[in-house]
C-alpha cells in the first residue's frame, strides 16, 4: 500500500481491478512509465487527466472489456506510479515518451482507439498525430488546449502539514466538488481515496498547459474520426460547450459530440453509465 498521509487501505473494488491488470513498463526519464491492461480484442488506449492516474477510468474498464475491447491505460509521466519525464520545453516531448511506450505495449502495426481525458487529451492529440493510419478513432473528454473561453476558475484547497487523515479526506472531498464532480451526492469514498492518492503522487504540474490552443492546432492533422464528450457542468468549459462542438465540427465536419447532462468535469466517473454507452457506440462505428 502507498505510504501517503491520510490514505487508508485501497478500497477492495479498486484493489480487485488492479490485481486483474497485466502490467508493462516502458522508459521514462530516469525510471519507467507504468501501463496496465485488461481484456482482449481491439485496444482502447485511455489517457487520464492531470493529477490523476489509471484510476480516472475505473468505472469504464469493465464496460470496455465486457464489450470485447482491450483497455490499455498508462500512468502518464510524473503521475501515479510513473517516473518523472526529463526536463521538457513542451508537451510534444511528453507525447513522444508516451507514444514510444505505446509502440512497445501494442503489437506491431496494431490499430487502436485513443481516448484522452482533460490534460490527457492534449497528450492523446500528440500521439494521434504520430500514429497516423494506425489510429481507429480519437475521443477527447473534457479537453483543454482548444484556445476557447474557459469556465470560471476554482481555487482548490491545499493540504497542510498539521492536518489529520480525517481532515485531509474532508478537504479532498471539498476539492472534488469544486472541480471534478458537480453533484456532491456523487462524491463517494472511493473518489475521495483516489483524490488523496492522486494529489500526493502528482509530481508533473499539468495546470500551466491547460490554456492555449495546442490541441486545436493538432486536431486537423488527425486522420481518424474525432469525437468529444463533456459533462454539462464541466467547470473548465461551462457555459461555452457550444463553442467546443462548433470547433470540432469546423475541424472535422463529421465529428461526434455529446454532452452528459447533470455532471461535471470527471464525466466518465460521475456520469459513467451514459458515458460508457456513448463511447461504446462510437467505438463500434466504422
- What the chain holds in terms of domains, given with CATH numbers, is 12-284 (3.40.50.1820)
Average pLDDT over residues 1-12: 80
Distance CA 73, CA 257 (A): 23
Residue 22 has pLDDT above 80, yes or no: yes
SS3 104: helix
pLDDT, tens digit, 9 for 90 and up, residues 137-191: 999 999 999 999 998 878 899 999 999 999 999 999 999 999 999 999 999 999 9
Residue 63's H or E segment, with its range, is helix 61-66
Distance CA 193, CA 88 (A): 30
pLDDT, tens digit, 9 for 90 and up, residues 26-80: 999 999 999 999 999 999 999 999 999 999 999 999 999 999 999 999 999 999 9
266 contacts: CB under 8 Å, gap ≥ 6: 49, 56, 142, 176, 180, 181, 191, 231
* Cell 454507452 belongs to residue: 277
Question: 31-38 and 70-74: which strand pairing?
Answer: antiparallel
Helix, strand and coil in the chain, % to nearest 5: 40, 15, 40
* Widest pairwise Cα distance in the chain: 55
User: Helices 91-105 and 119-131 meet at what angle, rounded to 10?
Assistant: 60
Most confident of 3-12, 84-93, 256-265: 256-265
| Strand ranges of the sheet holding 135-141, from the earlier edge strand across to the other edge | 22-28, 31-38, 70-74, 43-47, 112-117, 135-141, 226-231, 256-260
Main-chain phi, psi angles of 282, to 5 degrees: -65, -40
Q: What pTM was estimated for this model as a whole? A: 0.96
Residue 283's H or E segment, with its range, is helix 272-284
Amino acid at each position: 500500500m502507498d505510504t501517503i498521509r491520510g490514505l487508508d487501505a485501497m478500497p477492495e473494488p479498486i484493489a480487485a481491478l488492479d490485481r486483474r491488470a497485466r502490467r508493462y513498463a516502458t522508459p521514462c526519464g530516469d525510471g519507467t512509465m507504468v501501463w496496465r491492461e485488461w481484456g482482449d480484442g481491439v485496444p482502447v488506449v485511455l489517457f487520464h487527466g492531470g493529477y490523476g492516474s489509471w484510476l480516472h477510468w475505473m468505472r469504464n474498464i469493465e464496460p470496455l472489456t465486457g464489450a470485447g475491447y482491450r483497455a490499455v491505460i498508462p500512468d502518464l509521466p510524473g503521475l501515479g506510479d510513473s517516473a518523472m519525464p526529463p526536463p521538457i520545453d513542451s508537451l510534444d516531448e511528453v507525447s513522444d515518451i508516451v507514444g514510444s511506450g505505446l509502440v512497445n505495449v501494442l503489437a506491431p502495426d496494431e490499430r487502436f482507439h485513443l481516448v484522452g481525458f482533460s490534460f490527457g487529451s492534449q497528450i492523446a492529440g500528440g500521439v494521434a498525430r504520430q500514429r497516423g493510419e494506425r489510429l481507429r478513432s480519437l475521443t477527447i473528454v473534457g479537453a483543454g488546449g482548444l484556445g476557447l473561453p474557459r469556465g470560471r476558475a476554482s481555487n482548490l484547497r491545499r493540504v497542510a502539514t498539521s492536518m489529520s487523515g480525517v481532515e485531509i479526506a474532508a478537504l479532498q472531498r471539498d476539492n472534488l466538488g469544486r472541480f471534478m464532480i458537480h453533484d456532491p451526492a456523487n462524491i463517494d469514498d472511493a473518489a475521495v481515496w483516489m483524490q488523496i492518492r492522486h494529489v500526493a503522487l502528482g509530481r508533473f504540474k499539468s495546470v500551466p498547459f491547460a490554456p492555449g490552443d495546442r490541441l486545436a492546432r493538432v486536431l486537423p492533422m488527425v486522420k481518424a474520426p474525432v469525437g468529444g464528450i463533456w459533462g454539462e457542468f464541466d467547470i473548465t468549459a461551462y457555459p461555452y460547450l457550444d463553442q467546443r462542438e462548433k470547433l470540432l465540427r469546423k475541424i472535422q465536419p463529421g465529428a461526434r459530440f455529446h454532452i452528459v447532462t447533470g455532471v461535471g468535469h470527471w464525466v466518465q466517473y460521475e456520469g459513467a453509465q451514459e458515458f460508457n454507452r456513448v463511447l461504446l457506440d462510437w467505438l463500434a462505428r466504422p
